Amino acid sequence: MAMTDDAQSAPATTHPVFAGARPALPAEVEAGAVAAVLGIPTSAGSAKNGSENGPAMIRRASSHMAWSTGPSVVLDLTPADGPGQLAGVWDIGNCELGISLAELSATAAEILAALPAGTVLAGIGGDHSITYPLIEALLKTRPTADLAVVQFDHHLDVQVWDLEQPNTLFNTNVMSHIARLVGAGNVYQAGVFPYVPVVEDDAAAVRELLGRFGGQAALFSRTLHDEDLFAQWLPSGRDVYLTIDVDVLDVGEMSSTGYPAEHGLSLRELQRMVELVLRRNRVVGLDVVEFATTKISHRTIFDAGRVANLLQFILSTLADQRRPGRQQ
């Protein structure tokens, strides 16, 4: 089918820098850097194509946050004590298009070893299966005995069968694998749809599996929507890996994903919840995943812009925490 100006093929391989961040190889990132943005253009763990276009689309959408005529900086107007400059964010390019999950684990480990200590690797997916090799690489290169994983997602992404078999890591079961990797009580799932159909014979096993998680703050629950209850539910004072599947957003704000949510969070609600995670913990790694499209249209451009704004919000908050006088 021929594409029109309103529906062009999505550019999986092009990658302008995110929001005017400084481009560099991992070893060139300067000490004190807040984060290094890495594009991971793959749909290797998904039954659907399109998530391989996420890094290019989201970077392209972020261009409105960069001055086009020369080097620029971004001022963050949200701090109560006045504008802060978003400094210390670098863009280290993309992994190879279509990288396998095994290759991603090794590549991410090499990148983390080359980055300055304390620099957060911020992945732009890609489907949700990339989260496992990113956490695996983090634990190998920067070991911590106290890692919690906070997942914002419309879906649980769990499975109770065949996890021991080879090649069984997918975006639909990635959190089962991650729960085994980080240990009992260390995975917190927020925004998930509250009513989950389960094969009757598997119901007991699913309940047992979810009981080994840190818990679920489901959509519509008081825990999710009462700020005090949500703050009490979250981990606190810990090293945290933050993973955000953009299908946690309502379809009215995010249709460019493999499985849009008929009912979901608004971007503002998600930002407030993410900020609580960031303020209460030490984020040591993060990713934003499952933006997926095979064409460019007005709708997909606006959806990509929302993801870019969300990632910019996260990076700005991390940068603000490193400003002189801020409590860590």
Task: Report the distance separating Cα 218 and Cα 151, nearest Å.
Answer: 12
- Indicate the pLDDT class of residue 10, thresholds 50, 70 and 90: low
The 8-class DSSP code of residue 271 comes to H
What pTM does this model have? 0.92
- Indicate the pLDDT class of residue 84, thresholds 50, 70 and 90: low
In a 10 Å sphere around its CB, with 0-12 CB exposed, 13-18 middle and 19+ buried, how is residue 20 labelled?
buried
Structural Rg of the chain based on CA atoms: 19
Residue 3 counted as domain residue: no
The percentage of the chain sitting over the pLDDT mark of 70, rounded to a whole number, equals 87
How much is the pLDDT for 1? 25
Residue 326 counted as domain residue: no
Residue 137 counted as domain residue: yes
Please tell me the total number of residues recorded for the chain in this structure.
328
Domain hosting 119: range is 8-321
Quick count: other Cβ atoms within 10 Å of Cβ 8? 12
Task: Report the distance separating Cα 150 and Cα 179, nearest Å.
Answer: 11
**Nearest CA to 252 among 263, 244, 243?**
263
Inform me whether the pLDDT recorded for 79 exceeds 70. Answer: yes
Residues 10 and 294: beta-carbon distance below 8 Å: yes
Residue 47 counted as domain residue: yes
**Nearest CA to 300 among 248, 246, 262, 263?**
246
- Indicate the pLDDT class of residue 7, thresholds 50, 70 and 90: very low
Residue 328 counted as domain residue: no
Per-residue pLDDT tens over the stretch 99-145 = 889 999 999 999 999 999 999 999 999 999 999 999 999 999 999 88
Residue 2 counted as domain residue: no
Task: Report the distance separating Cα 317 and Cα 322, nearest Å.
Answer: 9
Q: How many domains does the chain have?
A: 1
Residue 203 counted as domain residue: yes
How much is the pLDDT for 71? 54
Task: Report the distance separating Cα 18 and Cα 20, nearest Å.
Answer: 6
Domain containing 137 — which CATH number?
3.40.800.10
Residues 133 and 255: beta-carbon distance below 8 Å: no
Task: Report the distance separating Cα 193 and Cα 249, nearest Å.
Answer: 11
How much is the pLDDT for 165? 66
**H-helix segments, the chain:** 54-61, 101-114, 131-141, 174-182, 203-211, 222-225, 227-233, 267-280, 298-321
Quick count: other Cβ atoms within 10 Å of Cβ 269? 16
Q: Which whole number is the average pLDDT over 177-202?
A: 94
How much is the pLDDT for 74? 67
Residue 1 counted as domain residue: no
Inform me whether the pLDDT recorded for 187 exceeds 50. Answer: yes
In a 10 Å sphere around its CB, with 0-12 CB exposed, 13-18 middle and 19+ buried, how is residue 275 labelled?
middle
Inform me whether the pLDDT recorded for 68 exceeds 90. Answer: no
Task: Report the distance separating Cα 263 and Cα 83, nearest Å.
Answer: 35
Inform me whether the pLDDT recorded for 89 exceeds 90. Answer: yes
